[in-house]
Amino acid sequence: MHVSVDADAWIYPPVWHLAAPQYAWLQAFLPTVNRTETPWLVFYSHRALYCTKTTDGECNSEAETLRYGFLGLEYGLEALLHEYGVDFAFAGHTHHFEATWPVYKNASTAHSYDAPSATIYVQSGIAGTGPGGDPFDVPQMEWESYRDTTFAASYSHLTFLDDATAHFEQRRAADGSVIYAFDVTRARHAFA
């Protein structure tokens, strides 16, 4: 199952008033998901909770606002995703590809995808942009498992093999070749 919010409501002042009802909806919806019937849960939004590109606001203050809420006080999405065991979070907006290890509170919980204890974040904003995307001007973070510095136009492909195994691939748009891939195995539905 996938679920989404309009993350711009956390970023643009004219639509800040839309963050509270979206958060309330997500907070009410996530506990209703029967994780026996729906073993995998995917969150997506246009903007990323985790990305690294440069020292500008998109991958710093804006991502932190999505993670921790306004002034770090209200409507933070990361704790909610973590509490209800969201497996993957996909975003675009910035024009590059990177994937994290399972990460929570700005730190990886493991450098493995075997029974992750936190959400895996995928920044896949490189579709159709080709070389010259948003460059990585900062060192790789310890929570990043991979970043594609070729900036080849690419797309994400996620396959759920069964209730306990998922396979992720990032593929080049030009020829379908795999840039990065990993398998996720899991033993529990929630991280908290």
d(CA 88, CA 67): 14
Q: What is the largest CA-CA distance in the chain?
A: 45
Q: Is the pTM of this model over 0.75?
A: yes
43 φ/ψ angles, rounded to the nearest 5 degrees = -105, 140
Find the mean pLDDT for residues 150-174. 93
Structure tokens at 190: 């929630």
* Average of per-residue pLDDT values in the chain: 91
Cα Rg, the chain, nearest whole Å: 16
In CATH terms, 2-28+38-185 corresponds, of 3.60.21.10, 3.40.50.620, 3.20.20.10, 3.30.70.2500, to 3.60.21.10
Q: Using CA atoms in the order 77, 88, 103, 64, what is the torsion angle rounded to 10 degrees?
A: -30
d(CA 51, CA 177): 24
Reply yes or no on whether the pLDDT at 96 is more than 70.
Answer: yes
Reply yes or no on whether the pLDDT at 190 is more than 70.
Answer: no
